[in-house]
């Protein structure tokens, strides 16, 4: 990563900035077969992620927003290669990734690290902060040769997550730390590998509201300082707007809309994104008069074992046309901002004209 | 404002006894008026759930209500002190007058009984003369009320989605038409879209049935939209209480301001947010004076020594426990106020 550090400053988003890329990635999980399935020789699958493509750029935060069960965490796990994708390609610096454990997996981990949702569960309660960080440093060969070098590395790590002075924290056990401090230790552990990509799976949703922003601001600071590419997975679209540069919206295993975060949140195009934005609490819409707009969608996300045909949102969509239940919409330009797209037939100009 | 339906007076709740007791709720007074939605906001550990369980006497040991009064005013009849009731009286009051929708309601349904059995159970326990047919009819009516198809009556909880289970819990809470419903983080486990659907329905139901709601959550932006009045808890105390609009437009307590600033806005300008420095206090070792002073950007000389009292600053419609709003609390008050405004 040291070589690329001298790359031109942010603002340019050409292809050379792309660190990690997913192309048509799908992940299906087999469902336990019932007696009848065995006889009929069929196996059902949960289509957790279907045909997802996006790119993570250096010094850029990409948010993946969706409800629970939309497959956003599976995307992170596939990107980290904790699950192997069913179909599609993941590229690190343009090279297709093919790791099945062992040395190559470790090398991949060095570049792509994960931060998990629950710092209470992701740190081992019987080990100190020092143990957690030293182990990560050793495994990834960043511990230095002498004890002094290792200590210096530990101090640097804790300083980078704003836990100073380091000696106050190094010999503490996880239960002696507050939730925010724990999550900072988990981030420090990810940084110990000196990664280029950070996959943050709901990094603040388990923390108290008053300390969430501190952790998000820390991640942003790290992104700027270390030029990390961050995938921020969240269900909170308001925090995605605050923290991320780009937003991808997931619904039922597919990415339905993407664009820069201001555009997606301020002028959402896909009916699902509109529903999501409308549903978010809005203090300016005061006291109880929560009259949802007439055309707002009802119902619940579909089963992913047998997802709906065509567009997966069509059973709930107030704008559904005949075409929606037949054919799955491709990414279509919305046209208001460059790079803003939605997978919705409403933005296919000929079909809209034909309908009207 | 309408008459009060539930008055909490100087309630204190401890965990444990003797010198090791941890004071989870300290000297809280709160009034819920008939038909209003009162929001109670605070971080985890601020004592908001303990307050709800303490006032309904649902607190499991080692929780002890160590002082105060909780007075319930029935529609007709004399006020009752809930803390002084004996078991049969309490049993009668619970659910028929005050009901609760629990935190994590998804797990509060019995997995081995059908939804209809659980709904009928509530009615049967309080109305001995009801017949199985009338109970089933009432259960169906309740399901319709919360927008679930009645053919779901014979489902088991695991056959329902999270949102539906939550609605069943709300239906159950409304079964006996109580005048107070306490909701302890009823939508925290749900997705925003489902949360919106349930809250919209709740607003409709409240308009139709006229019950009062004590809505407990950590999501202040949700409360501002939903409730009439909001009380903010920190470290076991209420630090500010005001009309929802007032609290949103001009919060007086620095903690309220910090909380409001902790939620990124989805609409309007994109601004830089800081959150609140430090972490929530440890109830076993509370800071001296105002519990918030170690994290407070505007703390000055009296804050560390003396506890501020919850009082009305100028008008009677709201109250705040902060030395900044006590005239003459210290010369330095003016200075520190002006310096912070200059900085921001």
Q: Are B233 and B49 in contact (CB under 8 A)?
A: no
User: Per CATH, is A16-32+44-280+295-355 categorized as 3.40.50.300?
Assistant: yes
Q: Does the CB of B297 have a partner CB in chain A at under 8 Å? A: no
In angstroms, the CA B160 to CA B117 distance is 15
Q: Does the bond joining A36 to the residue before it have cis omega, within 30 degrees of 0?
A: no
Show the tokens assigned to B122. Answer: 């509530």
pLDDT of residue B17: 82
For A263, list phi and psi in degrees, rounded to 5. -65, -45
Q: Are A247 and A234 in contact (CB under 8 A)?
A: no
pLDDT of residue A15: 58
Q: Does the CB of B37 have a partner CB in chain A at under 8 Å? A: yes
pLDDT of residue B342: 38
- What CA–CA distances, in Å, run from B62 to A307, B21, B86, B261, B343? 49, 9, 20, 36, 46
**Gap from B288 CA to chain A (nearest CA, Å):** 20
Query: Pick from B44, B274, B280: which is nearest to A213 by CB?
Result: B274
Task: Kindly give, in sequence order, each residue whose CB lies less than 8 Å from that of residue B128, ignoring residues fewer than 6 positions away.
Answer: none
Name the residue of chain A whose CA is nearest to B272's CA.
A242
Q: What are the chain A neighbours of B226 within 8 Å (beta carbons)? A: 287-288, 290
pLDDT of residue B61: 84
In angstroms, the CA B137 to CA B148 distance is 14
Q: Do A288 and B248 touch (CB under 8 A)?
A: no
Q: Are A209 and A26 in contact (CB under 8 A)?
A: no
Q: Do B192 and A284 touch (CB under 8 A)?
A: no
Torsion angle (degrees, nearest 10) of CA A335, A338, A340, A346: 10
pLDDT of residue A7: 38
Tell me the domain boundaries of chain A.
16-32+44-280+295-355
Q: Are A195 and A160 in contact (CB under 8 A)?
A: no
Domains annotated on chain B, with CATH: 1-97+179-274 (3.40.50.300), 109-177 (no CATH)
pLDDT of residue A285: 64
Inter-axis angle of helices B162-174 and B132-145, nearest 10: 120
Q: Does the CB of B226 have a partner CB in chain A at under 8 Å? A: yes
Name the residue of chain B whose CA is nearest to A206's CA.
B44
Q: Are B201 and B186 in contact (CB under 8 A)?
A: no
pLDDT of residue B162: 80
Residue holding tokens 């910090």? B258
Q: Are A223 and A247 in contact (CB under 8 A)?
A: no
Show the tokens assigned to B28. Answer: 């809280």
State the CB neighbour count (10 A cutoff) for residue A343: 24
Q: Do A287 and B245 touch (CB under 8 A)?
A: yes
pLDDT of residue A104: 85
Show the tokens assigned to A233. Answer: 């997975």
Q: Are A310 and B250 in contact (CB under 8 A)?
A: no
In angstroms, the CA B65 to CA B14 distance is 6
Q: Are A51 and A76 in contact (CB under 8 A)?
A: no
- What CA–CA distances, in Å, run from B243 to A204, A223, B103, B230? 29, 40, 25, 6
Q: Do B266 and A243 touch (CB under 8 A)?
A: no
CA B102 from centroid of its chain's CA atoms: 11
In angstroms, the CA A312 to CA A4 distance is 41
Strands B37-41 and B212-217, by their bridges, are parallel
Q: What are the chain B neighbours of A168 within 8 Å (beta carbons)? A: none
Indicate the burial class of B16 (C-beta count within 10 angstroms; 0-12, 13-18, 19 or more): middle
Which B residues 257-296 touch A at CB under 8 Å? 258-260, 262-268, 270, 273-277, 279-280
Q: DSSP character for B311?
A: B
Q: Are A310 and A303 in contact (CB under 8 A)?
A: no
pLDDT of residue A14: 54
Mutate to test the interface with B, among A204, A206, A281, A302 (most CBs of B within 10 A): A281
Inter-axis angle of helices A179-191 and A147-160, nearest 10: 130
For A92, list phi and psi in degrees, rounded to 5. -110, 120
pLDDT of residue A296: 57
Q: pLDDT per position in chain A (356 positions), as tens? A: 333 333 343 444 455 689 999 999 999 998 877 787 778 877 888 899 999 999 999 999 999 998 888 888 899 999 999 888 999 999 999 888 887 767 888 889 899 999 998 888 899 999 999 999 999 999 998 888 899 999 999 999 999 999 888 888 999 999 988 888 999 999 999 999 999 999 999 998 888 888 888 899 999 999 999 999 999 999 889 899 999 999 999 999 999 999 999 999 999 999 999 988 888 887 776 444 444 444 556 677 788 888 888 899 998 888 888 889 888 899 999 888 888 999 999 888 765 555 55
| Complex-level ipTM | 0.77
Low-confidence ranges of chain B (pLDDT < 50): 331-344
In angstroms, the CA B180 to CA A73 distance is 39
């Amino acid at each position: 990563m040291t070589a690329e550090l001298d790359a031109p400053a942010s603002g340019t988003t050409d292809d050379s900035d792309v660190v990690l890329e997913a192309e048509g990635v799908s992940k299906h999980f087999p469902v336990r077969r019932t007696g009848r399935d065995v006889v009929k020789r069929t196996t059902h699958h949960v289509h957790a992620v279907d045909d997802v493509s996006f790119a993570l750029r250096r010094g850029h935060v990409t948010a993946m927003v969706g409800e629970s069960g939309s497959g956003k965490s599976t995307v992170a796990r596939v990107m980290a290669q904790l699950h192997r994708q069913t179909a599609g390609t993941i590229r690190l610096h343009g090279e297709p990734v093919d790791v099945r454990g062992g040395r190559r997996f470790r090398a991949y981990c060095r570049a792509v690290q994960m931060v998990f949702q629950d710092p209470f569960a992701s740190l081992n309660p019987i080990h100190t902060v020092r143990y957690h960080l030293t182990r990560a440093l050793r495994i990834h060969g960043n511990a230095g040769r002498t004890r002094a070098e290792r200590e210096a590395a530990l101090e640097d790590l804790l300083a980078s997550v704003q836990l100073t002075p380091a000696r106050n924290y190094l010999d503490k056990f996880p239960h002696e730390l507050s939730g925010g401090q724990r999550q900072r230790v988990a981030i420090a552990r990810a940084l110990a590998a000196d990664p280029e990509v950070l996959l943050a799976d709901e990094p603040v949703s388990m923390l108290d509201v008053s300390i969430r922003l501190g952790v998000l601001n820390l991640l942003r600071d790290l992104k700027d300082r270390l030029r990390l590419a961050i995938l921020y997975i969240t269900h909170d679209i308001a925090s995605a707007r605050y923290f991320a540069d780009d937003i991808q919206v997931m619904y039922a295993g597919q990415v339905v809309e993407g664009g820069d975060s201001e555009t997606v949140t301020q002028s959402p195009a896909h009916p699902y994104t509109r529903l999501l934005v409308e549903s978010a609490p809005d203090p300016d819409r005061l006291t109880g008069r929560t009259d949802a707009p007439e055309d707002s969608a009802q119902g619940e996300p579909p089963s992913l074992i047998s997802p709906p045909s065509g567009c997966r949102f069509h059973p709930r969509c107030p704008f559904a046309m005949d075409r929606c239940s037949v054919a799955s919409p491709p990414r279509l330009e919305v046209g208001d901002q460059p790079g803003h797209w939605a997978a919705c037939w409403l933005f296919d100009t000929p079909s809209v004209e034909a309908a009207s | 404002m309408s008459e009060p339906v539930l008055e909490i007076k100087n309630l204190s709740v401890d965990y444990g006894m003797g010198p090791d007791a941890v004071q989870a709720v300290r000297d809280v007074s709160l009034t819920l008026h008939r038909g209003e939605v009162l929001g109670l906001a605070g971080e985890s550990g601020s004592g908001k759930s303990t307050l709800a369980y303490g006032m309904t006497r649902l607190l499991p040991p080692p929780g002890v209500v160590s002082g105060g009064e909780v007075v319930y005013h029935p529609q007709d009849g004399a006020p009752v002190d809930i803390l002084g009731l004996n078991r049969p009286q309490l049993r009668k009051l619970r659910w028929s007058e005050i009901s609760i929708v629990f935190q994590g309601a998804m797990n509060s349904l019995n997995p081995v009984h059908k939804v209809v059995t659980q709904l009928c159970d509530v009615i049967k326990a309080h109305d001995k003369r009801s017949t199985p047919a009338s109970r089933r009819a009432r259960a169906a009516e309740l399901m319709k009320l919360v927008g679930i198809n009645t053919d779901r009556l014979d489902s088991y909880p695991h056959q329902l989605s999270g949102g539906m289970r939550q609605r069943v819990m709300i239906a159950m809470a409304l079964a006996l038409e109580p005048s107070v419903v306490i909701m302890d983080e009823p939508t925290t486990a749900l997705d925003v879209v489902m949360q919106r659907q349930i809250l919209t329905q709740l607003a409709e139901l409240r308009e139709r049935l006229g019950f009062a709601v004590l809505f407990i959550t950590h999501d202040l932006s949700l409360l501002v939209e939903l409730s009439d009045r909001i009380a903010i808890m920190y470290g076991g105390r209420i630090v500010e209480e005001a009309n929802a609009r007032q609290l949103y437009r001009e919060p007086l307590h620095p903690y309220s301001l910090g909380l409001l600033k902790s939620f990124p806005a989805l609409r309007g300008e994109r601004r830089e947010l800081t959150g609140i420095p430090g972490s929530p206090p440890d109830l076993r070792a509370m800071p001296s004076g105002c519990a918030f002073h170690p994290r407070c950007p505007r703390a000055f000389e009296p804050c560390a020594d003396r506890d501020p009292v919850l009082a009305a600053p100028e008008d009677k419609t709201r109250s705040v426990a902060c030395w900044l709003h006590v005239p003459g609390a210290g010369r330095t008050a003016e200075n520190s106020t002006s310096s912070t405004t200059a900085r921001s």
